[in-house]
Structure 1
Amino acid sequence: MLFPLLQFAAGVSLLLLGVQLLRQGLVALGRSYLEIMIRRATATPWQGFLWGTVATALVQSSTAVTVLTVGLVDGGVISFYQSLGVILGANVGTCVTVQFLALKLSKIALPALVTSIPLILAPSTRAAGTACLGSGLIFSSLDLMASSLLPFKDSPALLGLLSAAATSPWQGILAGTLLTGFLHSSSVVAGMAMVLAGHGVLPPLAALHIVLGANIGTCLTALIAALFSSRAAKRTALAHLVINAAGAILCLPFLPPALYFLNWLTPDLPRQVAHFHTLFNLVSSLAALPFAGLLAWLLETLLPD
């Protein structure tokens, strides 16, 4: 049983590396546009929401967009109130990554890896090659993790352990939060939940709990980045945590009917997890947008300049 565990750990490591390389490549390709997009989020939270969504979908990293937003608030380029829409948009934009992981494109893994080599060697196409290499590693890692789970599919001990996350939502949320905080990637944690659920190792409800936790854990990097920044930057990072944590808690009572809806959408469990991730972030962000002004006032009261 040791070899499958090492194989699964190798798959997780490749997935993490692949997501990071994909982001690095896309950030390098879109760097000149990223800050411009966030700077344009100056009128209303809805405008910030739009540009935050586009910017995050472009670079495949809500963490990068959130940390950059914290930096712009710290530098006085945009206000704390203007940053709220960007943060909510970043939550939605990151769903593109998880939907990408749900695609069954393992056949393109090897061609993507081979294609990335000449692209990386040429300076003018290095960013595109890095993104291509990341894509290849992502789909290779998903197959590696999936094959490593076969010996554990009927393991009573593992099934009992993972079922605890389904019966105790707080354990599942805590697991997702801690894993995301450790790996610095909610997409990787969501991808792990998709693979585990798809192979019957993780109950579907437990996978949703872990996704909720991943949405909370993704706030930790921005919180760390804001530790030695201005009060306005601290408020921005704290707002991200408050929005995601409140959304997760309020969502809990609706998980059973959400499972019925997801089953109606698709019988494919990995896609159900990906769709839940998208629906949760979209609904919670849109629900929070009308209260952006109230949240800004509350945090400015708690953390005055």
Structure 2
Amino acid sequence: MIYLFKELFSLFAVFIALFLFGMVIMRAGLLPLGGEIFQRNVHRFTDKAWKGMLIGTIATAMLQSSSAVLVMTVGLVAANLLTFRQSIGIILGANIGTTITTEILTFDLSHIIIPLLLTGLIALFIPKKKAFSIGCFTFGLACIFIAMDGLESLAYPLASLPSVHTLFEFTNTHSLTGVAIGAALTGLVQSSTATTAIAMGFMSDHLLTLKAGIAIMLGANIGTCITAFIATIGASKHAKLVAFANIWLNLLGVIVFLPLMDILVQIVTAMTDDTMQQLAHSSVLFNTLCSVVMLPFAKLFARGVEWLHSKN
């Protein structure tokens, strides 16, 4: 049993590492293009909160990482190229844009994994910037889908272990446990997408309920704030406020949504029968509603964060 435990968790760690590797490679291809567009247009699109939300959404969708966008935003605020209040719209948009990745994961692209790998490898050897970016994107995407297949195949064997089975049962009946697991796992792997992907894998084998998956997704939104917070170490007071605003936005969203989880379950189950799509749609609805509802109060929210952390 101990040997089986070690073997399964070793494979689990390998697939998580492959997933994160794929994300890093994919972002390496997208960053030169998306990062340049983001930094070139950020000043034009942050005079109004809704404009900031728009560029935050687009940039995050292009970079496939809310953390990357927030870290760049922290850097711009630290360099006094952007004010803290201008960053609020970007934070709201980043939370929406990051849901694109989870929607992509719901597509069954297993039949084109090999073509993606081959296309990526060939493009990587072409000495042109755009070809290299395409190569990174396709190769990274293929790695992500290989990891997803691996995580799904490990779901049932892992659940056969008594300790893991007990944890699943407890998570299925206690939403706060799911939130804690999602936050802790995201803080560990530094990717809310990876955490959501793990939940999707277990849900596809009906080991986790939709409600438990949503709880883990909500926790992942809290855990993803850690990266931006780390980026503010040693930075200016205003740069730190960006990280605090991101934390409060996600924390308040989770607190508000926890009592409404049953309603969210009913809505997404009416939209589709596919469990992975249900969780992906839940992420889209949660992040979009939180950002849209907060948008009219962006200035008030910014003042509140400044007041709360005036001594930091």
State the TM-score, normalized to the length of structure 2: 0.93
State the partner residue of 2:213: 207
SS of corresponding position for 2:42: helix
Contact 1:41 1:82 in 2 (8 A): no
1:20 positional shift:
1.5
Matches within 5 A, 1:249-260: 249-260=255-266
2:35, 2:59 within 8 Å by CA — same for their partners in 1?
no
Q: Tell me, yes or no, if structure 1 residue 18 matches structure 2 residue 15.
A: no
**Identity rate of aligned residues, in percent?**
37
Q: Does 1:78 align with 2:82?
A: yes
Name the residue aligned to 2:196.
190
1:100-119 superposed matches below 5 A: 100-119=104-123
Provide the aligned C-alpha RMSD in A. 1.6
Match of 2:95 in 1: 91
Supply the distance in 1 between the matched residues of 2:288 and 2:96 (Cα, whole angstroms): 6
Residue segments in structure 1 that go unaligned for 5+ positions in a row:
none
1:8-87 alignment runs, 5 A limit: 8-87=12-91
Q: Distance in 1 between matches of 2:41 and 2:99?
A: 19
Q: CA separation in 2, counterparts of 1:214 and 1:173? A: 7
Give the distance between the partners of 1:7 and 1:58, measured in 2 at CA. Answer: 30
Amino acid corresponding to residue 87 of structure 1 in structure 2: I
Deviation at 1:137, TM superposition (A): 0.4
Aligned to 1:216: 222
Q: 2: distance between equivalents of 1:146 and 1:189?
A: 13
CA contact (8 A) 2:156 2:202 kept: no
Shift of 1:60: 0.9
How far residue 156 of structure 1 moved from its aligned partner, in angstroms, is 5.6
Is the Cα–Cα contact under 8 Å of residues 37 and 52 in structure 1 kept in the other structure? no
- C-alpha separation between the residues in 2 aligned to 1:58 and 1:166? 34
What do the CA deviations read for 1:203-227 (whole angstroms, capped 9, x no partner)? Answer: 2211111100110111111111112
Q: 1:142 is aligned with what amino acid? A: M
Alignment partner for residue 277 of structure 2, among 260, 271, 278?
271
1:166–1:209 CA contact under 8 A, matched in 2:
no
Shift of 1:39: 2.3
Contact persistence 1:53–1:90 (CA under 8 A)? yes
CA distance, structure 1, for counterparts of residue 8 and residue 307 of structure 2: 52
Counterpart Cα distance in 2 of 1:20 and 1:240? 22
Note the C-alpha offset of 1:152. 4.2
- Write the distance in 2 (CA, Å) between the matches of 1:40 and 1:159: 52
Corresponding pairs, count = 305
Worse overlay, 250-259 or 292-301: 292-301
1:230: which partner in 2? 236
Choose the corresponding residue for 1:300, options 285, 288, 306.
306
Q: Which runs of 4+ in 1 moved over 6 A?
A: none
Is the contact made by 2:46 and 2:89 (CA closer than 8 Å) also made in structure 1?
Answer: no
Q: Matched residues in 1 for 2:244 and 2:73: separation?
A: 13
For 1:101, give the aligned amino acid.
Answer: L
Distance change in 2, residues 1:121/1:160 (3 Å): same
- What's 1:151 paired with? 157
Aligned twin of 1:244: 250
